[in-house]
Structure formats: C-alpha cells, structure tokens
Chain A
C-alpha cells in the first residue's frame, strides 16, 4: 500500500493538537478536495497567466539580457503558485487514495470478523443441539470439543495475514499467537505458539516450543507477558528488533524488519495470549510508530474475538468439570443403589433369624 505524504500526516497531527487552526486547515482541505473549486482555480490561473503575458514585453530585450527579466517577476510568482497548488492537490489526492484503501481494508476486516462470529455461532449452536439431543445423558468433554480456542486463533491469524496481504500486496509476513499455560506438576508458567498464519503452509520451528516465564527472560515475548501491561508493542526497524532481542540473545539469523505484538488481556487473568505480526519487508506497515499503530488498529476487533473466546473456553472447562463431577456422583449413586438392591434382595435369606421372611 502506498504510504501517505509525511507533510499530510504532520498537518493532521498539528490540527489535532491545535483545534482552532486545525478546523481552518480542515476547511482548506475540504475546499481543495472539491472538483468545482479546482476547476475555478484552474480557470483563474489561466486567466491571470494570460493577462500577465499580455502585459509583459517580450520584444524589447533579448532572453540573455538582464533587463529582460526586470518586468517578469509577477509571472514567476504566478508560476510558483501554480506549481504549489498542483503539488498540494496531488498530495491531497494521494492521501484520499490511501484513505480509500484503508476504508476498503476496514470493510474487509468487518466482513471477515462477521464470518468468524457466524462460524462460532454455528458451532455453538451445534454443541447446544448435541447436548440437548441426549436428554438423559450427562454431557462429556467430547461434546464441547468441536470449538476450541486454538481453532479461533487459527482463523484470527489467517485473517490478519490475509488483511495485510490484501492491503500491502505482499506475502512475506507471518502472524502467530503465543498462549500462556501452567505446568500441572510444577506450577511453572510458560508460553508457546499455538497457532499461526503464513504463506507456505509449514508450521514455524518454534510452534509448540515452551518459553518459561521465570527462566527464558531474554525473549521479548516473555518480557511482555511478565510486564502484564495491556499495550501495543511496536518495533519499527531491524535496529529496534536487535536491541530488544526479540528472538533471544543467541539468534542472529532472523530476517525480520518490523515486529508488532498485541496482547489479549482478560480481566482477572492478565495477558493470556500475544498476537505477533512479523514483517520481512522494510517499512511495510509504516515508517513511524504512529503509522504502524494506525495500520494495526482494525485488528483489535480480532483481539476482542480472542478475548471473548477465552472466556467461552473458561466456561466450557468449568461446565466439563461440573458435568464430570455430576457423572461420577451419578455413577456412585447408581452402584450404591445396585448394591443396596442386591442387599435388600438377599436380606431375608441371610438374616432370617433377625427378620423372618413374609
């Protein structure tokens, strides 16, 4: 995607900081966007230029003589104005095109988000139906297995990968999700990659590799999990990536130009997952941190999907545990009743002296 002019971005920043001047600038921006105004200005320039040419003397002096330029300063001024005006309109047009492409990208994200929600709704409906069909049987873990957090993570990674591909016409990037786990035996917390989206259909080498939060401290993603702050982490060039040791102190081979990490932050849980975007092309998502931030903002919709599904998974796990307890207690009760009935059946035979048969 072609990036907008730095001048426009600076003006936008300036107009946000100084509201009154900003509204004047915005008025000019709207005026210069108007095709009617542009036609009028072009007509005006042509008229002024023609009038100036008519008034100027081209015959008395030769073009190589100094006196020739004495009465032509106003033409030069008009000429500079025409160049300035055209440069401004071209810059505005480019910014307009950039905005249109951004809107197109946003609409694509909204449509895709809607389809993810549709897919989740359908799967949830399937789960509800399968649980309801077996009215007497207590649901088990298998009934809830058609929808997992890892599945949703796969769709999210794939969609962000696709959105970047459509917007930038480049496919050398990778989107992945690191997720937090706890070892049952030791209680140690670690993170590992549970999903990814890339072009080559090959899982990354660090897929399923454990990074312990208490020992692998040199890794940038471990640091983010330990900091427990809900904020975007943007490394815009190779220098920043090397400085932060994104791939650990030992790794020097990775050819990554930009790195963005978006935490999935849940209340009472802290950072549960980390969405990572790795870019191999220089300045692909933007030249500055602000530009990159603007680019990745639409992806926050997917982060919310992950957050909701984390809670959904939490609910499923609680239900599975409760159902399991219920099932076990039902089985215990059943075996107890079976035992009791056997006991009652032979009650009179074995204890005839206490309770004679009827």
Chain B
C-alpha cells in the first residue's frame, strides 16, 4: 500500500502541470495558483513528489481535465460509451482524455525520452486513487435488471455532479407541475 501510494503521489505530482494548464484554460486563476504551489511544495519538501505534504497543509488537489475544460467552454456532452479498459465515458470526456495526452507542459520542457513520463503520468496518477463508487451504489448495479442502462445513468449523473451542472429547467418544470397536480388548489 505505501508503494502504491508513492507511485500514485509521484505520478499525480507530474500530472499537476497539466492540471494548472487546464485551470488556466478554464479561467480559474485561483486554482491554477493553488496547484502551482502544490507542485512546488511536493516536488521540494515531498522528495520529488513521492510524498504529499501539501494536502495536510490544506493545498489539496481538485482534479480536473480537458473534458472539464470543454464543459466550461460550452461543448455538449455527446453520446455515452463504454471504453475498453478505461470504463464509462462520453464523447466530450473521451476527446478530453486524448487531448490531455498533450496538455502537460513537461512533455515539451523535458528532453526525450524522459518527456514520455508526462504522457504516462495521466494514466499512472489514477493508480493511487482509482475512482470507485461506494458499495451502496455498486449494489444498485449488481442487482439491476438492466445493468448497462443503469451504468450509463450512474456515470452521467455522477459526472454532471462533479462538474457542478445545475438541474435542468425541464426537470424543475416536471417536479413543479407534478406537485401542482397533486397538491394544487
């Protein structure tokens, strides 16, 4: 476990320049500064990124990627898909993942072949903290009569929640008119 965490920390640290680039593309200057500080702290005090002293100092990471940048720019979600090995995704998230192979400035600042680490850090950084649904949500999937439809619904809802997408006007109308029908004068 400590080794796994070390790898996760190290790759996560190499991934931070990519996060900063995406923060800037999303016009989130405060977050870009915070993640720059995190990169400096963990690279120096954290022995090149193997340790994560920044988190207990309150400089934790808010994950982001080019998929979120596309969302901020107003790009539509597109279709849902199940990618081999990578799991559920959307058109927008998949394009974001591909673009993110090239958004890490380390790729351009470090000579070859060491710069390939910038490409791999995106995948490696997920080792330490692979996203997992809580077992409560998992059980909904296992017991489902249509687990594909359910997986699609769970992923899209959770992804929109992470992006901070507001409830749609259609849904508000649906709820309001139902309450009106049931309890209206």
Are A and B bound to each other?
Answer: no
A residues engaging B (CB < 8 A)?
none
